[in-house]
Amino acid sequence: MRLTYSQPMPVQTQLDPVRFAAAQRELFASQNVRVGAGRVVHAVAWTPWLEEHELPMPACHTGWAGHGLGGDVRPTRDPVTCRRCLTLRSGDRSSTSSPLTLW
Ligand SMILES: [Zn+2]
């Protein structure tokens, strides 16, 4: 079997996780999030990433895989339109005094 590449393989540039996480934190602070080219606006949640760092993600986890490293999540000031995120958000308010039931 012979492997040939007609195009150069994509090369990941070096990523400084500390700077990347800090930049994401600043970029998504007080923002909502769109996934890819989608029009739906999601609430932002933060997911653990590499040691003590966190990265933004849609609160509902819908339509998203990865950690935004490929620019698959974009900040927006538009209001949340995702029904699941809105439900989660309203659930957060009502559950502040009682623990969440996970299953
Ligand atoms: Zn959502």
Do 44 and 21 touch, CB atoms closer than 8 A? no
Confidence of residue 95 (pLDDT cuts 50, 70, 90): very low
Please, which contacts does 10-19 make with residues 24 or more away whose CB atoms are closer than 8 Å? 15/69, 17/49, 17/50, 17/51, 17/53, 18/53
What is the structure's pLDDT at 86?
95
Give me the pLDDT at residue 64, please: 62
- pLDDT score for 17: 87
* pTM, two decimal places: 0.69
CA of 57 to the centre of ligand 1 (A): 9
> How far, in Å, is the centroid of ligand 1 from the Cα of 26?
20
**Cα-to-centroid distance, 80 and ligand 1 (Å):** 8
Domain ranges, ordered by start, for the chain: 17-92
54 vs 67: CA distance, rounded Å: 9
Indicate the average pLDDT of the chain: 79
